Structure 1
Amino acid sequence: MNGLLFTLTFAVAAPFWALMILLPKWAVTARVIRSPLIVAPGLVIYALLVIPALGEVLPAVLAPTLDGVRDLLGTTNGAAAAWAHMIAFDLFVGRWAWLDSRERAVPSLAMAPVLVLTILLGPLGLAGYLAIRPRWPRRVVATAPNPT
């Protein structure tokens, strides 16, 4: 079961990454990626792996030690759960960066490598986006005054 959940984890996230990277200007992409629920399948997989193992997981996260975390992640269940955790969080971060980049009009060609880096090495992708983000200030949308 752990092997199947491990394999499913990226499979349920990949379509969203494909939309952001390959079809960034398609109206459907914006509609789909706006929903934070795109991370729900990864969260469900994570819950399926972690909840039955709370007896082993809680001690490792409530009073973490290097050996304790290593031992937890060294199991098939621990590795599969860690993978689901990473995939869900990386997708959430990628989603935020993609949405923010649309508001700033960051070119899709600049975002594609950032998103690929986020898929592969999450925190480095986030760092990459935070590094390029200031080049494109957020566009200010003029609003009509409120007649009160």
Structure 2
Amino acid sequence: MTETLFSLTFTVAAPFWALMILLPRWSWTARIISSPLIVLPVVVIYALLVIPALGDVLTAVRSPTVDGVRDLLGTSTGAAAGWAHMIAFDLFVGRWAWLDSRERRVPAPVMAPVLLLTILLGPLGLAAYLAVRPRWRRPAAAASGPQHLG
């Protein structure tokens, strides 16, 4: 079962990455990616892996040591759970960057490599987006927030 869940992890996330990278201007992409629930399938996989091993996981993360984390991730279940953890957070960060880039009108050809880097090396993709993001300012209406009449 662990192998199946490991294999499913990226499979359930890949369509969302494909929409953001390959079809960034399609109207359905914005509708789908606007929901934070796109990470839910990966979160469910993570839960299926972690909950049965919760005692071992809590022991390793409550007072983390290099050896304790290595021992946890060195198991099949630990590696699969670690993978699901990374995929869920990478997708959530990629979603945030994509939505923010749409508001700022960052060109899709700029975002595609940033999103690919986020898929492959999550924190470096986030760093890349944070580096390019200041070049594009949010439109004045979006930056000032909702307007209240009164």
Structure 1 letter corresponding to 2:95 = R
Hey, what does 1:10 align to over in structure 2?
10
Instruction: Tell me the distance in 1 between the aligned counterparts of 2:5 and 2:21.
Output: 25
CA 1:69–1:28 in structure 2 vs 1: closer, same or farther (change >3 Å)? Answer: same
Residue deviations 1:61-100 (CA, integer Å, cap 9, x gap): 0010100000000000000000000000000000000000
Residue deviations 1:109-143 (CA, integer Å, cap 9, x gap): 00000000000000000000000000001112287
Aligned residue-pair number: 147
The alignment's TM-score, normalised by the length of structure 1, stands at 0.97
* Mapping for residues 1-148 of structure 1, pairs under 5 Å: 1-141=1-141, 146=149, 148=150
Superposition deviation, residue 145 in structure 1: 6.2
Instruction: Tell me the distance in 1 between the aligned counterparts of 2:117 and 2:148.
Output: 42
**Runs of 4+ off more than 2 Å:** 142-145
Superposition deviation, residue 55 in structure 1: 1.1
Instruction: Tell me the distance in 1 between the aligned counterparts of 2:116 and 2:47.
Output: 26
Residue deviations 1:8-66 (CA, integer Å, cap 9, x gap): 00000000000000000000000000000000000000000000001110010001010
Structure 2 letter corresponding to 1:90 = D
Instruction: Tell me the distance in 1 between the aligned counterparts of 2:36 and 2:140.
Output: 24
CA 1:145–1:60 in structure 2 vs 1: closer, same or farther (change >3 Å)? Answer: closer
Structure 2 letter corresponding to 1:139 = P
Instruction: Tell me the distance in 2 between the aligned counterparts of 1:57 and 1:144.
Output: 46
Supply the RMSD in Å over aligned alpha carbons. Answer: 1.2
Superposition deviation, residue 144 in structure 1: 6.5
| Aligned residues with identical type, % of pairs | 75
